Structure 1
Amino acid sequence: MTTPQQDRQLLEKLSPSRMLLPVAIGLGVVGFMFWRSYKPGDLAPLADARPLWLLVVLAVLFVRDVGYMYRIRHISEKQLSWRQSIDVIMIWELASCVLPSAVGGTTVATFIINKEGIPLGKSLAYVMATAMLDNLYFVVVVPFVLLLAGDNLYPTEVLESGLITTLKVAFWLSYVLTFIYSGLMAWALLINPHVVKRLIMRLFSVRGLRRWRRRAWQHGTELVWASAQLRGNGWAYWSRAALSTAFVWTARYLVIGCLIAAFMPVSWATFGVIFARNLVYKVVLLVAITPGGAGFAEGAFPFFFRSFAGSATMTNFILLLYRIATYYLYLVLGSIFLPRWVGRVFGRKVAEEVMAS
């Protein structure tokens, strides 16, 4: 169990004051891009907007979040109620927004689930299961994306900038590492964690990696704990978990295409290419060091989607809507759910201290 001091340190990571930096960075970058690109008449496509597609965006966001809630409730073997699942997902999303993309919300997810009354070992197991499934989704979908997009997977803007080799190397290196990591996690959680732990320890016994040996040992031990909690769950458990994972991530990658379709004519083939580019776009954001990828997400967006969105100004407008729908919205929802959750779990006094920090 965590100590009160550790609890406060983790809660401080989610304090409202941490929201100011990513908001300032993100809106500052978008504002600069608008200032640099705006020309009279660039926003003319707004007059021909298709409101139905905007409703589709809202529907996709809603069903995605319901899918997340269903998944965490199912993976936790219904030890979480629907209300607890809502709180967990909203605070998890908040953590993803205020922590660097390379870290993500999973660093505090175990803490959140544990504070809902689930033992630490099981909390860790459930978070590891979601991480494994998320990685496996990427591994499985990429081959289909290649068939879907073909030569259009990488944007023309990147080809012209001369960065295409770097982008391809980054994408395929990320894919190979994710493939290996998810395979090892699946083997450890479902078959034999001790073999994987020994493999990890041998790897980090190599000169140059020994400085991380202690952390590697801890991670291997956590895999053994998690495996003990998850082993014995049958086909029905894992198939539902996998299907819900595929559902929520597919919905997540549909948002940009729906937003572009709301203002620009988009064929189904083009919609598929936009979906495919989302995967490459997300790989680029993994290197972001700012909270929630603020600044990186805005700066990289035009490289991947301007060819579908029309003028630079329209691209920036769609980018702003995208960040509102997938980022700022969850900062607002998180700031609403966080004090209620802290008050329920830790008491009103702690909630007031967190909100004041």
Structure 2
Amino acid sequence: MPSTNNISKTGSHRRYFSYKYLFISLFLSVSSLALVLYLTYTPDGFQHLKPKRLPGLFIALFVAILKVWFTAAKIRFLADRQIGWWASVRVVLAWDFASAITPSTIGGAPLGTYVMTRENIPLGKSSAIVLYGLLLDQFFYMIAIPILLISAIYIDVVPENVGWLGEGVMLLIYALLMSYGFLLGYGLLKDPESLKKAVRYLFTLPLLKRMKSKVEPELDNLVSKSHELRKKPNSFIIKGFFLSTMVWLCKVWLPTIVVLSFLPADELLSVMRSLAMMLASLFMPTPGGSGGVEGLFAVFQGPLMERQVFLGIAIFMWRLITYYLSIPAGMFVMSWYVNKSVVDSYSILAAREKAEIGKLDEDELTGITD
């Protein structure tokens, strides 16, 4: 019989996420949600609920599914259609699961890279997909931020109740995203060697110096992927940008659709605030942004809701659709990958044992392991 010790090693996915972070993420999200519900609940508040608006929640669910589809289409496109639709959806669900339980500043890219290799995409190709996807996101930010700044001249994109400190923080976020997007775009599309030198210098600083040895191979990988990207036709960037933009628009529309499912509100202002809210959530240090994103929803969307009693339930429905459902879906997909790894490992080990006793020649063994 094949050794179960070898098979158990296939659970290497565990190094990409932590059950501790999953618990922390859920605890922070539920706690902040409970606090908002406690502060906004009134016994007679729900008598103002209009059932004719509630179907909007099904529209929100449809938009969330649409976001998964566009993300899968984006990954499949960047992978040059080397994987099928269901494989792309599995990658998206696993990626979203990792994003839900890791800090927003880290995201689900490490686990996303891992599961793409489980779908028979080479590691180098998987890394390139992540890098290209990151670049496309930066293009979206560089268009979205000027729109927000121009809109802020005419409407209160950043709510007045956050004061000058909140406005200053949002301006800092805009500046950081624009600077990062410009540097990444210039480095990847124009001068990767300069980008490599700049990052290498950055990791000579005292706080980052200990990670320099780990970063060095990734810098070489970045340069090689940059050369590959520059060989792509313009249509590749345009179509990839379209898919990436549709993913982001789905994210931006969801809070507004949920708000409108309970009460009428200023649609344009809600969408602009959703966009600002999404950009701010990128800097949340907690797993899945939990605790922070609920607060952002309350700050940005709360003033638009005439009856505050609906604020807590709106946050809950938004997080249910965009966050809570992603956890069981992601765990289901991860269990599928684990089972597949066990079966694959068992088949390889069994084939090797048969080869040792002469029941299988080496050519057949090579075919199985490949």
- TM-score normalised over the length of structure 1: 0.85
Q: Give 2:157's match in structure 1, choosing from 138, 142, 153.
A: 153
- Residue 292 of structure 2 aligns with an amino acid whose one-letter code is F
> How many angstroms does 1:128 deviate by?
0.5
Distance 1:68 1:346, change over 3 A: farther
State how far apart, in whole Å, the 1-side matches of 2:342 and 2:170 are.
Answer: 42
Distance 1:263 1:281, change over 3 A: same
> How many angstroms does 1:66 deviate by?
0.7
CA contact (8 A) 1:149 1:276 kept: no
> How many angstroms does 1:219 deviate by?
4.1
Q: Which residue of 2 aligns with 1:355?
A: none
Q: Which residue of 2 aligns with 1:298?
A: 294
Give unpaired runs (5+ residues) of structure 2.
Answer: 1-5, 347-370
> How many angstroms does 1:73 deviate by?
0.2
CA contact (8 A) 1:45 1:264 kept: no
**Is the aligned partner of 1:51 residue 2:47?**
no
- Residue 281 of structure 2 aligns with an amino acid whose one-letter code is L
**Is the aligned partner of 1:171 residue 2:170?**
yes
Q: Which residue of 2 aligns with 1:341?
A: 337
State how far apart, in whole Å, the 2-side matches of 1:343 and 1:16 are.
Answer: 19
> Residues 70-107 of structure 1: CA distance to partner in whole angstroms, max 9, x if unpaired?
00000111112112101100000000001111211113
Distance 1:13 1:217, change over 3 A: closer
Q: Which residue of 2 aligns with 1:353?
A: none
State how far apart, in whole Å, the 2-side matches of 1:34 and 1:58 are.
Answer: 22
Q: Which residue of 1 aligns with 2:3?
A: none
- Secondary structure of 1:347 counterpart: helix
Q: Which residue of 1 aligns with 2:316?
A: 320
> How many angstroms does 1:125 deviate by?
0.8
**Is the aligned partner of 1:271 residue 2:274?**
no
Distance 1:104 1:209, change over 3 A: closer
Matched-pair identity in %: 23
- Secondary structure of 1:104 counterpart: coil
CA contact (8 A) 1:125 1:225 kept: no
Q: Which residue of 1 aligns with 2:326?
A: 330
| Aligned residue-pair number | 340
Q: Which residue of 1 aligns with 2:351?
A: none
> How many angstroms does 1:274 deviate by?
1.4
- Secondary structure of 1:240 counterpart: helix
- Residue 286 of structure 1 aligns with an amino acid whose one-letter code is L
> How many angstroms does 1:214 deviate by?
4.0
Distance 1:6 1:100, change over 3 A: farther
> How many angstroms does 1:325 deviate by?
0.7
State how far apart, in whole Å, the 2-side matches of 1:182 and 1:314 are.
Answer: 37
> Residues 204-237 of structure 1: CA distance to partner in whole angstroms, max 9, x if unpaired?
4467764554455344223113224434211121
Distance 1:128 1:321, change over 3 A: same
State how far apart, in whole Å, the 2-side matches of 1:146 and 1:346 are.
Answer: 52
State how far apart, in whole Å, the 2-side matches of 1:48 and 1:172 are.
Answer: 39
Distance 1:202 1:32, change over 3 A: closer
State how far apart, in whole Å, the 2-side matches of 1:7 and 1:45 are.
Answer: 54
> How many angstroms does 1:68 deviate by?
0.5
- Secondary structure of 1:291 counterpart: coil
**Is the aligned partner of 1:310 residue 2:306?**
yes
CA contact (8 A) 1:87 1:341 kept: no
**Is the aligned partner of 1:139 residue 2:138?**
no
Q: How do 1:46-125 residues align onto structure 2 when only pairs under 5 Å count?
A: 46-125=49-128
> Residues 149-185 of structure 1: CA distance to partner in whole angstroms, max 9, x if unpaired?
43411112212xxxx32x3333222222222322232
State how far apart, in whole Å, the 2-side matches of 1:339 and 1:21 are.
Answer: 21
Stretch of structure 1 that moved more, 272-281 or 119-128: 272-281
CA contact (8 A) 1:306 1:312 kept: yes
State how far apart, in whole Å, the 1-side matches of 2:273 and 2:307 are.
Answer: 19
Q: Which residue of 2 aligns with 1:26?
A: 29
Q: How do 1:218-229 residues align onto structure 2 when only pairs under 5 Å count?
A: 218-229=217-228
- TM-score normalised over the length of structure 2: 0.83
Distance 1:186 1:92, change over 3 A: same
Distance 1:347 1:294, change over 3 A: farther
Q: Which residue of 1 aligns with 2:188?
A: 189
- Secondary structure of 2:294 counterpart: helix
CA contact (8 A) 1:68 1:89 kept: yes
State how far apart, in whole Å, the 2-side matches of 1:14 and 1:211 are.
Answer: 23
- The RMSD of aligned alpha carbons is 2.7
State how far apart, in whole Å, the 2-side matches of 1:345 and 1:45 are.
Answer: 53
- Secondary structure of 2:49 counterpart: helix
> Residues 47-72 of structure 1: CA distance to partner in whole angstroms, max 9, x if unpaired?
34413422321221121111001000
> Residues 269-318 of structure 1: CA distance to partner in whole angstroms, max 9, x if unpaired?
x2222122123323443343321111122233211111112333211110
Stretch of structure 1 that moved more, 110-119 or 167-176: 167-176
Deviating 4+ runs (over 6 angstroms): 3-7
